[in-house]
Every structure is written in C-alpha cells, then in structure tokens.
A and B are shown apart, each in its own frame.
Chain A
Amino acid sequence: MNATPLALYLVAGVAYAVHFGTRSPSSGRIATVSLVFGALVHTFIIGMQTMQVGHVPLVGTTGAISAFVWVLALAYLYTEMTTDERAMGIFIVPLMVVLQLIPAISNNVTARPPVLESRWFEIHVFSLLVAYATFALACVISVTYVLLFKELKGKHLGVFYARLPSLQVLDGMNGRAVTFGWVFLTLGLAVGAIWLVQVQPGAADPRVQAMSLLDPKIFTVLLCWLVYTFSLYARRAFGWGGRRAAWLSTFGFAILMLNFVPIGYFGTSSHNFY
C-alpha cells in the first residue's frame, strides 16, 4: 500500500528535477500536484492503518519512517506554498523517495506492545518526527546556502544563482527551521524522559529496562540536541550565521539520519519495536 505514495513521490521527484533543469512552469506544476497527491494518498494510508490497529502506526522503525516521510511532505509543501520557491524540491523529494522505499518494501503494521499504550508515547514520537522533518528542511536549505555562497564567492554564477533565493533569505529560513525543530526535539525528549520515569520501575519489558543515556539511540539523539542547541546559542551569542550555521545544521541532520535508520534498526536495544 505504501507503494502508491512512493510512486507519486517518485513522479514528483523527477518533475522537480526537470523543473530545476528547464525551469518550465508546467513541470513545476506537475511536481507540486504529484507531491500533493502523494501526501494525500499517504494521509489516507496512515488513516486506514490507524483504523485497522486502533492507534496511529508509529511503532517500529518502518511505521516511524512512513510517518516521517508524511510529515516531511507536509512540511515541505508548507514551505513551498509560503515562500513560492520550488528550487528546494530537487533536494528534499529524493530523500523522501529513498526513505519511503523502506515502508513500501516491508509493508506491515507493527502491533503495539502494551508498554507503549500511552498518550505520552504518541506525543513523544510525534514531536520527534516533526522535529526531524523540520531539521531535514533546515539541512536542505543549508546545503543550498553553501552552494549559492560558493558561486557568489567564486564569482562563477551558475545554476544556483539563477534558481535560489538570496543568501540572507536562506540563512533566515535555516535559523527559523532550526529553532522550530529544536522546540519539538526538546519537547519530544522531555516527554520521553518523563514517561520513562513513570513506567521504568514496574516494567518487565527488557527494552524499557535498556533505556538509559548509554543506549546508542538515546546517546546519539542527545548529541544531536547538543549540536542544535549550540547552533542556536552561537547565533545569538557570537552572531554565527551564514556558512557556520549552515554546516552545523547539516552536521546535526547527518547524525539524526544515522540515528533514525541504521542505529534505529541495528544499534539499539531500547527502541527496537519492530
């Protein structure tokens, strides 16, 4: 079932690439329309699965990835509609396609173990997914910032000069996205911690017992939180913007993706709900 949004995202990705290359208005419209349809179908699928199992399918890395791609599609569409910029699509949609391959292949809804039957769990996962999607956007914005910066500094005005908004606009977008993502990351981690304190003493589940600061998944996400916190602090305290902020944002997201997919599948003994 997850293959339908995958196909639509793929069409959108190709159309964004064509639009980036030729800048023809029709390919841009095709790109946005296919992405909107992809997101709608994806919404429908997640809704169906929710009805099927009685809760939002966020358990397990596969479900989480599908939900992440869905949030990312919505976040990107929101950015495109509000800024009227389509140039980022070529960077963000391929990421969605690659991630969506996972739920499209292993298309099963993980049953929720009793320990996760809690409102806290849903807030925890959902906040983190929103944070991840926002950081993904911030990362893409940062990459485009660096590319445009290179062209301007090197005086070779090329594809990015013709297609991207100004450096200051990109820097501002990166700053706002990181702030927004940081709020949700902090919220998600805090809710997770509060909930853990409540359930850990009485829980027999070995995964709950394994939840500590030394678990790879928890450790890495805290590292991420430190990177983004530093980025925000440095912007206010020492005026770090531009390229420095862009590199921090890219670095933070790289760790995040590492944590989300490989560590999420193989490296953690506390968050392996698949």
Chain B
Amino acid sequence: MHLFLLGASHHSAPVDLRERIDFAHRGIPEALAAIVETTGLAEVVVLSTCNRAEIYAHSETHGRLAEGLAGFMSAFHDVPEPELAPHLYSRQGGDAARHLFRVVAGLDSLVVGEPQILGQVKDAFSIAAERGFTGAALNRLFHTSFTVGKRVRSETGLGEGAVSVSYAAISLARKIFGDLAGRRALVVGAGEMAELTTTHLRSQNVGRIGVANRSAARAAVLAATVDGVAVPWEEITAELTTTDIVLTATGAPRWLLTRAQVAEAMRPRRDRPLFMIDIGLPRDVEPSASDVEQVFLYNIDDLQSIVRENLARRQTQVDRAELMVREEVDGFMRWLRSRGAIPTVVALRKHFERTRRQELERLAPRLASLPPAAQTRVEEVTRLLVEKLLSSPTQQLKAAPDEEAVAADADTLSRLFGLDERAADERRRTLRDREAAGTGAEPPPAPRNR
C-alpha cells in the first residue's frame, strides 16, 4: 500500500522548465501509458496545468518509485535528469494526499483560492479513470479531493472576492445592477485593460456595447472586435444618459468628462445608477463627479486596492481551509490503512470458512438423516457463528493506527492460524494478475464525450 507523488510546480520550477515538462505536448493518455509501461505501476494519474506537472501513483509494494518516475519524466520530456531533478518534489503517503487536497483547495495556487484548478484536477482524473489507469486507491483519493475542493469553496471565503482588476469591475457592476443582461455599456478609448473588461462584459450578456474613440476608424475596428456599436466622439455625453456602465481609458491630459457634464447627464436618468470605471492615466473623469447622486466612480487605484483587500481576506481563510484539508487527509489515510489489512482479513475469513466446510463435510453422513429444514438450519448456524467470531477481529484489523501495526497484526495472525503459506500464494497471484494487466493489452480507451 503505497501512495506516491512526483512533480514540479510554480513553487519549484521556473516557467521555461515548466513549459518543457508540460504533459499536454505529447498528450496525457500517451504519458499515462508510457508510465505504466516503464514503471509497471497499476494506478497513475497525470495532472498537467500551466502551473504544475504532477504524477500521482499508487502501488502495492514499496519500490524505488521516486527514481523510476524521475527517470521517466526526464526521458519522456527529453530534459536531462541533472537539470530536472533539483526542481522536482516528491511526497509519500499522507503527505501526497495532503498535497493533492491543498492543490484542489486552491491553497497551492499562484493566486490563492483560484477556482479553475478543481475542474482541471477533475479532467486529469477522468482522463486516467476512463482509460483504466486508476483503481480503488486513486479513485478514493481523487473523489475525496473533490469533496475537499467543494467544502473549502462553500464553507470558507478562500475563493471569494475578485482578484483581478477587470473582474473587480464586473463584480462591482453586478453589485449595483444585479443581472447585467440587457444593460448598456460604453467604452471610451482603448488598451489591454479596456479590452479585457469589455470581454468580461460581453460574457455577462450586456445588451449593447458602444465604443468611442477619437479616431472614428479605430472605433469601428474596436466595435467590430467586441461585437459593439461605434459611437461618434461628440456624442459621448449624450450617450451617458442611456448608458449604465461607462469605461474610460483614454489617458487624455484633460478631463474627458467633468463633474458638470456627468451631473447634466444624470438629470434625465433620475435615480437610475451610473457606474463609471476610469482606468485612464491620467484620469479621464473629474473625481468630484462621484458626489453626484447614484454615480459610482471607480478609478484604477480603487480597483487595485479592492483586489489587494480581497487577496488579504483570502489569506485570512487559509487556516480554516488547511484545517479541512487535515481532516480529510486523516479520514483518507484511515481508509487507506484499513485497506492494508484487507489481505489478512480475506485470508482469515477463508481459513475459517474452509474449516467450517471441512467440518460440515466430515459430519455429512450423520447430518443426512436430518430433515432438509434442519440441514439448512445447521448450515445457517455455523455460518453465523463464523461471522460473529470474526466480526471484532475484522474491525480491529481495519482500525490499525499505522502501516507497521497492520504488518504486525498480519504476522501474528498468520503465525497463530497458519495463514502464511496460503496468504503468500494469494499475494503472488494478485501480483501476477496486476503484471498481466499492466503490460498486456490495454483496455480500449473509453469514448470521451466532452
């Protein structure tokens, strides 16, 4: 029973190395097949995102897994081992489980609490599971990790609050207007931030996006890229009366919109709010415009300070999330250890059952004279007796506190009941089966309908 992880992430490896060991280049299914071929592992999952490349494995034996997998990574990606090795980390047992759970919870991410990693891990797992590269241990490990991810997101504030400027602007808009579908937006000027925010607005189903630029030709081009409408430069103030969200990014030396202009535009709007996002440097909207009733004016500094606050707030939730991770790791490891006891439990049960059968066979001639109902009853009573005798030892075996205890229990029981020979036979047969499964014909890849 051995859980193992080897990988590199943004914590351990620079971006150029991460690019070279990205499993997506040659395909994750190919990587999985190659790992099984070179190492003989039965359970493998490969997680590959732009920030990390990790191999999770489970094996029945304690082998030289670290060396084997590191060698595989180096060969598969064609990166010399001495260059790769210092950037790799490996974890075993509970530490490997903790690592995965922290990854899924977003605790190991570049931006703490970012939500995408949960989906990425789900994809990585299903690629492996659909092709038969996972078994009971990794299935349980990954499903537990999804639970951790969901718990952390719903029970802590780790994933809350926008942590990018453009998304902070969208969140504010949603807090003012609620649903943004059908709202009107106006984008004045251009730039990366403006385009990013406009894309976000588009994804919120904003009804109409007007685009204004000093150059009418440029406005037309920008309008086409964001599926908007070009607005003539002179009509910006008129447009304000019907627009809900205004984004300015011209950086012109003079105010694009003065307080008086904004106040004038607000008159026909009455109490309908106007959200102004001023990301121009120098600023485009006179700051005192925010004194006008129902005008919400945010400049780039305001948005950045919201992002900083949100990041700080996420940091305060880390301890709660870590606690959840710890709980789930403990639960998972208990389960994994109880599985370590299974061969012994099985051997013990077989031993008892065999004894029962032998005794019944020995008594068969005498039992034959009994009526059929009584014969069934004898069968039943003996079976129940065995069940009862074994119930407490089974529970105790599964509850062993660590792997050493499991091994000690197994030894003692083997000695007491003479299970050794038969158990060894059993183990040899399992290994043979596994090798056949590992190196023989792969199960055909399941169709992926995603």
Contacts and interface: CB of A to CB of B under 8 A. Distances in A.
B93 interface: no
B155 A239 contact: no
A103 interface: no
Contacts of B160: 162
Contact of B294 (A148, A155, A166, A242): A242
Interface residues of A, number: 23
Interface stretch (B134-142, B265-273, B333-341, B367-375): B265-273
A242 B269 CA distance: 12
Contacts of A148: 175
A238 B270 CA distance: 7
A241 B272 CA distance: 8
Nearest to B302: A155
Contacts of B178: 165-169
28 contacts: A25-B154, A152-B172, A155-B298, A155-B305, A155-B306, A157-B306, A157-B309, A161-B175, A162-B157, A162-B160, A162-B161, A165-B178, A166-B175, A167-B175, A167-B176, A167-B177, A168-B176, A168-B178, A168-B273, A238-B270, A239-B269, A241-B271, A241-B272, A242-B271, A242-B273, A242-B293, A243-B271, A243-B294
A119 interface: no
A240 interface: yes
A168 B177 contact: yes
Given A157-B306, A157-B309, A167-B273, A243 B176 contact: no
Interface of A: 23-25, 148, 152-153, 155, 157, 161-162, 165-169, 238-245
- By Cβ-Cβ distance, the 10 closest A-B pairs, closest first, are A239-B270, A166-B178, A241-B271, A242-B271, A169-B178, A168-B178, A155-B302, A168-B177, A167-B176, A166-B175
Chain B CB within 10 A, most for which of A148, A165, A167: A167
A193 B309 CA distance: 57
A152 B272 contact: no
Contacts of B290: 153
Given A153-B290, A155-B298, A168-B177, 11 more contacts: A152-B175, A155-B306, A157-B306, A161-B175, A166-B176, A167-B176, A167-B178, A168-B176, A239-B272, A241-B272, A243-B293
A265 to B, nearest CB: 38
B422 interface: no
Contacts of A162: 157, 160-161
Contacts of A166: 174-178
Contacts of B296: 152-153
Nearest to A24: B155
A155 B306 CA distance: 8
Contacts of B154: 25
A161 B294 CA distance: 16
Contacts of B294: 242-243
A157 B309 CA distance: 9
Contacts of A155: 298, 302, 305-306
A76 B345 CA distance: 57
Nearest to A241: B271
Contacts of A167: 175-178, 273
A23 B155 CA distance: 8
Main secondary structure, interface of A, reads: helix
Chain B CB within 10 A, most for which of A25, A162, A166, A239: A166
B270 A240 contact: yes
Contacts of A244: 271
A99 B394 CA distance: 60
A25 B154 CA distance: 8
A23 B178 CA distance: 21
Contacts of B305: 155
A142 to B, nearest CB: 13
Contacts of B269: 239
Interface string B352-390: 000000000000000000000000000000000000000
Nearest to A165: B178
Nearest to B180: A166
A54 B175 CA distance: 51
B373 to A, nearest CB: 53
A242 B157 CA distance: 29
Contacts of A25: 154-155
A245 B305 CA distance: 31
Contacts of A240: 270-271
A151 to B, nearest CB: 9
A239 B175 contact: no
A240 B177 CA distance: 17
Contacts of B272: 239, 241
Chain A CB within 10 A, most for which of B271, B272, B309: B271
B225 to A, nearest CB: 29
A40 to B, nearest CB: 29
A241 B178 CA distance: 16
A242 B298 CA distance: 19
A169 B177 CA distance: 7
A152 B305 CA distance: 14
A153 B296 CA distance: 6
Contacts of B309: 157
A241 B176 contact: no
A165 B178 CA distance: 7
Nearest to B313: A162
A257 B306 CA distance: 39
B295 to A, nearest CB: 9
Interface string B269-280: 111110000000
A30 B19 CA distance: 50
A241 B155 CA distance: 36
Contact of B270 (A152, A153, A165, A241): A241
A244 B272 CA distance: 12
